[in-house]
Amino acid sequence: MIAFIFLFLILIKYSAAECPSNTTEWQSSCFSFFNISTGFADAELRCKKVGGHLAAIHDGFTNALLAQEALNNFHESTQVDFWIGATNLIKPPMWNWTDGSPFDFTDWNKGEPQNTSGANCAAISTVDGYWTAQDCFKPKPFACQVPSSVYYIPTTPSYPANANCSMGWFYFPPTHSCYGANAGGFVGNWNAAETYCEDSKAQLPSIHSVAEFEYLTSLLYIDWANVWTGIFSIDNGRSWKASDNTSADFEKFGPWCPGRPLTNITGERCVAVGSIAGIGCYYDYNSTDRSFHTVCKKPL
């Protein structure tokens, strides 16, 4: 019943808006605020993995909006500024946006940008919205900008809004699949979880859309730590596969958690959906050393 409630809420969200509920929508873009302190380059890579770039600002209203929203999202952070996508490292000494859009607006603080070595990346203040040029290696939270079209769910093929799943399974229209996600369900390591799903004539989910990623993330609020996906690697993370033999394109639809993927694991590693600071993300573990809840997927 709890899983059904969360599924219902997600269906409402995806029928009512293009941007996910934990983002800010403005001018056909979805802005996400990541309260994870990291360097400029890593922040840009994390934004690219969710389908966008560090935020590019082209007018004063957007600038004020981002500063205000960041203040709301970063209120527990000790940082007073955050990374946006402006840098002079792409075509020095000119400043550019990492998304390649025209650099047609600035809001530099007095005396900025500093003409000092290492001050090559821009951060925006949550206090007054002014920009400063800073060392790109400084760890700061950041704002990503993703086109709202990334979250668009195609209307074709057209899946029914309802379908019959067996007892204990719940239908999710965006993937036209049934998910077995009962509270108090099976808990085990990845190998045991995959066997459990196969015995139910299903498999662990492989994640092929933002909708599916956020559905799995929503289950974490049932007080589950992590849920297994069907993604695994047999070559120490150099390449990924899906246990259902579909494409392993999961990185397009959700970010890795900080410090992931790991580089010090040998042998088979497997991916679980977890969260940090309320934001869904991917963790990777050895296939046998952790036990998590199991959500099985059965396409119709």
List pLDDT tens digits, range 132-152.
999 999 999 999 999 887 776
The structure tokens listed for 106 are 């600035």
Domain-embedded: residue 65? yes
Residues 77 and 38 grouped into a single domain: yes
Residue 156 resides in a domain: no
Q: 134-162 in b/e burial notation, b at 16+ Cβ within 10 A?
A: bebebebbbbbbbbbebbeeeeeeebeee
∠ CA 272-42-228, nearest 5°, is: 0
230 alpha-carbon distance from chain centroid? 17
CA gap 176, 173 in Å, rounded: 5
**Burial degree of 42 (CB within 10 A; 0-12, 13-18, 19+):** middle
Task: Count how many domains the chain has.
Answer: 2
pLDDT at 35 exceeding the cut of 60: yes
CATH number at residue 80: 3.10.100.10
Q: Which residues pair with 298 in a beta bridge?
A: 178
Which pLDDT value is given to residue 289?
83
**In Å, how far are 17, 30, 150, 202, 211 from 208, measured between CA atoms?**
19, 19, 12, 16, 8
Range in 11-25, 106-120, 258-272 the model is least confident about: 11-25
Residue 274 to residue 213: CA distance in whole angstroms:
10
d(CA 206, CA 271): 10
What's this model's pTM, rounded to 2 decimal places?
0.53
Average pLDDT score, the chain: 84
Mean pLDDT for 46-62 is: 92
Q: Output the pLDDT for position 224.
A: 63
Q: Phi, psi (5° rounding) for residue 30?
A: -115, 120
221 phi/psi in degrees, rounded to 5: -75, -5
Residue 137 shares a structural domain with residue 186: no
Q: Which residue has the tokens 């993927």?
A: 261
Give pLDDT tens digits for 59-75. Answer: 999 999 999 999 988 87
Cα 167 vs. chain centroid, distance in angstroms? 31
Same domain, 114 and 186: no
Asked whether residue 208 is domain-assigned, the answer is yes
pLDDT single digits (tens) 209-246: 888 988 888 877 655 678 899 999 988 888 899 999 99
Are 39 and 138 in contact by the 8 Å Cβ rule? The answer is: yes
Which pLDDT band holds residue 192 (cuts at 50, 70, 90)? very high
Instruction: State the residue range of the domain holding 229.
Output: 2-14+168-299
Decide which of 90, 112, 147 is a domain's last residue: 147
Give yes or no: residues 92 and 185 share one domain: no
Residue 153 located in a structural domain: no
Q: Are strands 140-147 and 279-286 parallel, antiparallel or unpaired?
A: unpaired
What is the structure's pLDDT at 115? 80
Inform me whether the pLDDT recorded for 262 exceeds 90: no
Output the six-digit token pair for 269: 């590693």
